[in-house]
Amino acid sequence: MGRVVTLKEEAPLSLVVEKIKQSLGLDHVQVAPAAGSSSDPKIKTIAICAGSGGSVFRGVDADLFYTGELSHHEALYFVETGASVVACNHSNTERAFLKVLREQLLSELPDAEIDISTCDHDPYQTW
């Protein structure tokens, strides 16, 4: 349901955010830096959950919580306990996995025709 990734070397939050935006093809994401941290905190461990990560992240210790969405209070909790948060909207984080899922399905069903929607998009827009 989720993963915790440990980077070989610490990376500034700004770099991690840019990599997330590139990998998801997004222009904007929501970022909540850890309370009391520098303006660009260092990240070594990243907890990841596509979709809505709040319940999956319970009891997890990480420098960064990366998910589609969290409640306001969940985000406040992580920030106030020294972690940063990146939220990318629910379906944006799930959509990135579709290419991987397609390949997995094709390896099991080589004669199947599996298309990924080209018109699917997140319902939210940033204006």
Three-state SS across the chain?
CCEEEEEEEEEEHHHHHHHHHHHHCCCCCEEECCCCCCCCCEEEEEEEEEEECCCCCCCCCCCEEEEEECCHHHHHHHHHCCCEEEECCHHHHHHCCHHHHHHHHHHHCCCCCCCCCCCCCCCCCCC
Q: What is the pTM of this model?
A: 0.88
Does 69 appear as a known binding residue? no
The domains found in the chain, sorted by start residue, are 3-108 (3.40.1390.30)
Residue 90 in marked binding region: yes
Question: Which tens digits make up the pLDDT trace of 104-116?
Answer: 999 999 999 999 9
What is the per-residue pLDDT across 65-99, written as a single tens digit (0 to 9) for each? 999 999 999 999 999 999 999 999 999 998 878 88
